[in-house]
Structure 1
Amino acid sequence: MAPFTHILTCLFGTGSWVSISGMWVELPLIVPEIPEGWYLPSYLSVIIQMANIGPLFVTLMHRFRPGWLNEVAAILFIISLGTMASFLLAFFWKETLVIGGVRHSVTLLVLTFFLALVDCTSSVTFLPYMMRLKPQYLTSYFIGEGLSGFIPAVVALIQGVGVVQCHNQTLTTNGTLGNATLGYELKAYYQPANFSTQTFFLFLSTMMAISLLAFLFLNIHLAVGRQRNSGWYHDRDLGVDKGGLALRHQEQSEERPMIRPLRNLKRNACSSFGTGTYMWIEVLFIFSMLAWVNAVTNTVLPSVQSYACLPYGNNAYHLSVTMAALANPLACLIAMFFPIRSLLLMGTLTVIGTGIGAYIMGMAVLSPCPLLVHESSGAVLIVTAWVFCVLTLTYVKVIIGLILRDEGHSTLVWCGAVVQLGSLLGAFSMFPLINIYKLFTSGDPCNTKCLK
Structure 2
Amino acid sequence: MSLLTHVLACLFGMGSWVAINGMWVELPLVVQEIPEGWHLPSYLTVLIQTANIGPLFITLMHRFRPGVLDDRPVIYCIVGLGVIATFLLAFFWRHTVTIGGSLHSVPLLVLSFLLSVVDCTSSVTFLPFMMRLRPQYLTTYFVGEGLSGLVPALVALIQGVGVVHCQDASLVDSTNKTNNFTVAGSSELKAIYQSAKFSTQVFFMFLSAMMVVCLVAFILLNYHPSVARERKNDLYFSGDLTPGNREQGLSLHAQTPEQKPMISPLEARAPRSSFGKGTYSNIDLVFIFAVLAWVNALTNAVLPSVQSYSCLPYGNKAYHLAATMAAVANPVACFIAMCMPTRSLMFMGFLTMFGTGFGAYIMAMAALSPCPLLVHSAFGTVVIVLVWILFVLSLSYVKVIIGVILRDEGHSALVWCGAVVQLGSMVGAISMFPLVSVYKLFKSGDACNTKCPM
- Which of 218, 233, 236 matches 1:232? 236
Per-residue CA deviations over 1:69-111 (Å, capped at 9, x if unaligned) read 1211100110010011000000000000001111100000000
Q: Which residue identity is paired with 1:197?
A: T
Partner of 2:226: 223
Distance in 2 between residues matched to 1:180 and 1:135, nearest whole Å = 67
Change in CA separation of 1:241 and 1:259 when aligned onto 2, cut-off 3 Å: farther
Report SS of the residue matched to 1:407: coil
Conservation of the 8 A alpha-carbon contact between 1:124 and 1:417? yes
Seen in structure 2, the aligned counterparts of structure 1 residues 217 and 438 have a Cα distance that, compared at 3 Å, is same
Q: Any conservation in 1 of the 2:299–2:395 contact (CA below 8 Å)?
A: yes
> Could you tell me whether the CA contact under 8 Å between 1:234 and 1:241 is conserved in 2?
no
Q: What is the aligned partner in structure 1 of residue 332 from structure 2? A: 330
Choose which of 386, 389, 393 in structure 2 pairs with 1:387.
Answer: 389
SS in 2 for 1:243: helix
Q: Which residue of structure 2 lines up, in the alignment, with residue 357 of structure 1?
A: 359
Equivalent residue, structure 2, for 1:10: 10
Would the alpha carbon gap of residues 153 and 240 (structure 1) be closer, same or farther in structure 2, given more than 3 Å must change?
A: farther
**Quick check: 1:231–1:242 contact (8 Å CA) kept in 2?**
no
State whether residues 233 and 242 of structure 1, in contact with CA within 8 Å, keep that contact through their aligned partners in structure 2: no
2:356 partner letter: T
Aligned partner of 1:300 among 299, 302, 305: 302
* 1:144-183 matched pairs, under 5 angstroms: 144-170=144-170, 181=183, 183=186
CA distance in 1, matches of 2:268, 2:212: 49
Aligned partner of 2:435 in structure 1 is 433
Q: CA RMSD in A?
A: 2.0
Q: What is the CA–CA distance in structure 2 between the aligned matches of 1:33 and 1:156, rounded to whole Å?
A: 17
Given the alignment, which residue of 364, 369, 372 partners 1:370? 372
Cα separation, 2, equivalents of 1:329 and 1:425: 25
* Partner SS state of residue 228, structure 1: helix
Residue number in structure 1 paired with 2:341: 339
Distance in structure 2 (CA, Å) of the matches to 1:144 and 1:252: 27
- Counterpart for residue 404 of structure 1: 406
2:236 partner letter:
W
Q: Which residue of 1 aligns with 2:103?
A: 103
Label 1:13 to 1:186 Cα distance change in 2 as closer, same or farther (>3 A): same
Per-residue deviation, 1:249:
2.6
Q: Which amino acid aligns with 1:228?
A: R
- Residue 446 of structure 2: aligned partner: 444
The aligned length equals 444
Asked if structure 1 preserves the Cα contact closer than 8 Å seen for 2:312 and 2:445, the reply is yes
d(CA) in 2 for partners of 1:288, 1:59: 18
1:14-25 to structure 2, matched below 5 A, reads: 14-25=14-25
Query: Residue deviations 1:258-290, cap 9 Å, x none?
Result: 52387999734x521111111100000000000
Offset of residue 234 of structure 1: 7.3
Whole-Å separation in 1 of the counterparts to 2:59 and 2:241: 18
Identity %: 63
1:206 to 1:181, Cα distance in 2 relative to 1, 3 A: closer
Pick aligned residue for 2:259 from 256, 274, 277: 256
Instruction: With the length of structure 1 as denominator, give the TM-score of the two structures.
Output: 0.95
Q: What is the aligned partner in structure 2 of residue 74 from structure 1?
A: 74
Matched with 1:30 is 30
Normalising to structure 2: TM-score of the pair? 0.94
Q: Distance in 2 between matches of 1:408 and 1:14?
A: 23
CA distances 1:290-338 after superposition (whole Å, capped 9, x unpaired): 0000000000000000000000111110111110000000000110111
1:245 Cα deviation from its structure 2 partner:
2.5
The runs of at least 4 consecutive aligned structure 1 residues that moved more than 6 Å come to: 261-266
What CA deviation, in whole Å up to 9, does each residue of 1:351-398 have, x standing for no partner? Answer: 000000000000000000001101111111001000000000000000
SS in structure 2 at match of 1:260: coil
Query: Which amino acid letter does the alignment assign opposite residue 191 of structure 1?
Result: Q
The alignment partner of 2:28 has SS state of helix
Alignment of 1:273-284 (within 5 A): 273-284=275-286
Q: Secondary structure at the match of 1:98?
A: strand
Change beyond 3 A, Cα 1:417–1:206:
same
Match in the other structure for 1:212: 215
Shift of 1:247: 4.0
Residue type at the aligned position of 1:169: A
Structure having the higher strand fraction is 1
Compute the displacement of 1:145 (Å).
Answer: 0.3
Using the alignment, how far apart are the partners of 2:6 and 2:150 within structure 1? 18
Change (3 A) 1:137 1:242: farther
Cα 1:2–1:20 change in 2 (3 A) is same
